[in-house]
Each structure stands twice: as structure tokens, then as C-alpha cells.
Structure 1
């Protein structure tokens, strides 16, 4: 039985109510998104020329409404609200939300798009969930570890794998072949592949790959939930100074980082 939500994020994190609830919520947001997928959804352009669809907007509205009702004292920083001119307030506890990470791929009919919800404690993720509606899989923090489930089934424990002699690397689809080859050589990886969204963190957390180096900018809502899951599975997300990637930075923007397993 899922513990009852008290409205206190610290208490609900300790009891397990928060992690269970946000996992269910991310999957519910995915069910809002799926009817728009491969269905000719209209695309608008934000000020930074990134795409947004009605699927992004409706999923974010659901998530924000539900979180505000359950934890009214916890402010939220969410991608579409920020794009619309939201202020974005950081507190002792706060949410970082990307209702549809990988919108470009979503519009193109690809499967690697996700719903990201992270609870932040100060400048670091305390809990997180990443749900991939098109493939029916969800990854989450749970009781100090990391878990995954398929199609709402039973949770299974996941963990990063021991690094093989020459690892496997994930990259954004936007990385050029020459840059990918350079990164593979730098990190002694025998193979690499491109995929979209926060899925990259989760595939490393499951022990299917070893590294995700990122050189270009990302927004904090792109990475927080994935970082929470990967760290809970035994991995790390390090900035260019090789320190843990932190949050609440100006503009909620990340610099280069390396997500890694063992």
C-alpha cells in the first residue's frame, strides 16, 4: 500500500509516498501525451526557436496542478512556464519539471521522449522519475536506490554496470560523426549511439551503457530527474570541474557535463 501524502516533502520522501506518487504522476502525464504522438500535432516555436506542442502544455498543466495540490508549499520550475515568462523560484525544496523532453523527436514520431519530474533539495536532486510513454518504461528513485518498471508493472531494482575495458557511450542525435569519434577516443569507448532526451541517463542507470558526455548547453529541467535516477543507481553526473552537477544556476542552464556509470 502506498503511504499517504502528508504535504511535507521531507516526511513524504522518508515514507516513500513522494517517490511513489510522482512516478504515477509521470506515467499519467505520459497518457496525456500519447494521443498526440504520430497524430499530426501542431508545432509552435518558442523564443529560443525550440518546438512546443499542445502535448507539452497539457502534460505540464496536469503535473503542476497535481503537485500544487499535494505539496502546496513547494515551488516549481517547469519548462513551458519558464518559456512563457515565469520567474522560477528556488527554495529549500523545489520541483524541476520537463513535461516532454525530446519534443523534436516526438514531433518526428521517434520513441525517445520522456516526462521528467525531480524534487530538488537546495542545489541537488533528492528524488526523480523519468517516464518514456512510447516504450512504456519508467525509471525512478525509490528508498535510496533506483528502480524501473514496464507498463505499470512491478518495480525491479536497477544499477550501473562495472565499466568494461572499452565502454559504450550515448550521445545526443545532434552530435556530428567527427565529434562523436573524438569523444569516443577521449573516453576510451568502443562504440557509441545517438538517442534523445533524459533516456540517456536511464540507460546508463540500467547498466546498458557507460557514459554520456555533453558539451553543448542544456536546461536544468532536462537533466535533474535523470541525474537523480543515475546517482541512485550508483552513477555520477559531473561538471567540467569534475564536481557533482548542481542546480539553481543563472537562467537554469547547465554547462558541459559527464554522466557516467561505475
Structure 2
């Protein structure tokens, strides 16, 4: 059954209003996170041995509140809620995938490569997504369908203002150069990184945290991000939306487009690629 909220989602998605709204929510979540950065945030350990901080929880609370107000009744699958309450049995139709602070380990170390991620899934694939890097005040978003991908520096715009001072600029993947450059997770060994990079036609590689990898490929600065270890769907959905809007691809191990709503919301191996 189609609901009023479903109709509003579809309308706002096609007009670009949804993409802009998600960007503002993600940027306001970034402002919630920044006071905790390099400021001795309390770190706890979740059941899967991954870390969580006050910043993760505060950002997720803001995102969930704002999404519920704008689009009531749409299912949410958010990292910290799943950690506390368990994953839902299934998600179908329209649903949100939310990672309020991707790259928590790097955040705790004081690094800059952590991100806020919000994606809208419809019938198994991301149709909208926003990634914000709080440390550099940068946001990437997939525009309305067919509108490409965009990036802006939102700088010192204050929460609650219209965010009108920052200009959106189009981004696009680059054609693969003769010597491709890969991005890899810091969790892999140098030997595994070199093997993965070579497998996807890249002679050089660099380690980077979080979903920032998708956005750097979308900007045309890198060429591939192969991943062999497991990830959660909220780690990849927003980045996939941005990269695909910029002309890239994210493929599962079987060569098909990476899909969402899988059991326990877990991904298998995949590769994100530019041109």
C-alpha cells in the first residue's frame, strides 16, 4: 500500500528537495559531532568489539528525529540502534540506512577521515545519499535522479540557518589513467592491499578510513576501492549513491550492482570503481 509519506518521498526525491534536506541534516549532525572531536570523548565497546562514543549516539539521535519529522513512518536502520536493539528482520520498499559516525576508530585517534552517512533505499538500491566529513566541513550528495553528484564546503554556516552561503559544485569520476590509484581500508595488510589494488588494475594504493573513499573516487581523485572483508550496509549505501551519481559503479563479488536489505544488513566483498 502506498502511503502519504511514500508519495512525499518520491516527490521530494525527484525534485531534489530530499537530497538538499539530507545534506542539511548531515551537516547539522556534523556540528553535533565536532565538539567531541579531539576532546577526550568517552569510548565504549559494543558487542561486536567496535567502539562507540557519545558523538555517535548524539548524531544518530539528531538524524532520527529530523527524518521522523520530515518523513514520518519510513523505516530506519541505523547503526547504533541496531547495536542496542538488534537488526530488524527485514526492510523492504523505502527505508533509511544511517551511519552517524563512520570511521569511529580514526575519530578517536584524532584523524580527519570520519563521516556522517544518510541513504534512502528503494526496492533494494540506494536512490539518494549524502556523506558529510565534519573535520573538513565537506558534503557530497547525489542530486535528484539524473542530476549527477555535487560537493560543497559548508564552512561556518550555523545550525538552523538556510545553508545558502555554500555553493554546490558538480563532481564526476575520471577516466581510468594508465596507472590507477586505489583506496583501501586501513584494516588490511600491505600485502593484501597490494593484491587487491593490482586485481582491479591499480599500480598504487593509499589507506583511508570511512566512506570518504567513495567520495574521493566520485571526485575523480582515485580509481577503485576494493573491499574483501565484511561491512555493514550503512557503511556503504550513502557513498554508493554519491559514486553512482558521479558516473561510478559499486559491484558485488558476482559482478552485480551492490544491493541492500540483505540478511543482517551485511555486505560481502565488493569493489567501488570510477571510470
TM (norm. structure 1) is: 0.96
Q: How does 1:141-180 map to 2 (within 5 A)?
A: 141-143=142-144, 144=146, 145-151=148-154, 153-180=166-193
Match of 1:94, SS state, is: strand
In the alignment, which residue of structure 1 is the partner of 2:40? Answer: 40
Q: CA deviation at 1:211?
A: 0.2
Corresponding residue for residue 107 of structure 1: 108
Aligned length: 258
Aligned counterparts of 1:53 and 1:237: Cα–Cα separation in 2: 30
* Secondary structure at the counterpart of residue 85 of structure 2: coil
Residue 198 of structure 1, CA deviation: 0.2
Taking only aligned residues, the RMSD between alpha carbons, in angstroms, comes to 1.4
Query: 2: CA distance between counterparts of 1:21 and 1:7?
Result: 16
Question: What is the Cα deviation at residue 188 of structure 1?
Answer: 2.5
Residue of structure 2 in register with 1:59 after alignment? 59
> Could you list the per-position Cα deviations for residues 10-31 of structure 1 after superposition, in whole angstroms to 9, with x for gaps in the alignment?
0111122111100010000000
| Match of residue 78 from structure 2 | 78
Q: How far 1:208 sits from its partner (Å)?
A: 0.3
Partners of 1:148 and 1:157 within 8 A in 2? yes
Q: Distance in 2 between matches of 1:210 and 1:238?
A: 14
The Cα offsets for residues 144-180 of structure 1, whole Å up to 9 and x where unpaired, read as 3100001251000000000011200000011111111
Tell me the distance in 2 between the aligned counterparts of 1:16 and 1:203: 22
Among candidates 188, 193, 211, match of residue 198 of structure 1 = 211
Structure 1 segments unaligned to the other structure (5+ residues): none
Shift of 1:184: 2.5
Distance 2:81 2:197 in 1: 37
2:247 alignment partner, one of 234, 243, 247? 234
**Residues of 2 paired with 1:149 and 1:36: CA distance?**
23
Per the alignment, residue 213 of structure 1 pairs with 226
User: What TM-score do the two structures reach when normalised by structure 2?
Assistant: 0.91
**Which residues of structure 2 form unaligned runs of 5+?**
156-165
- The 3-state SS of whatever aligns with 1:234 is coil
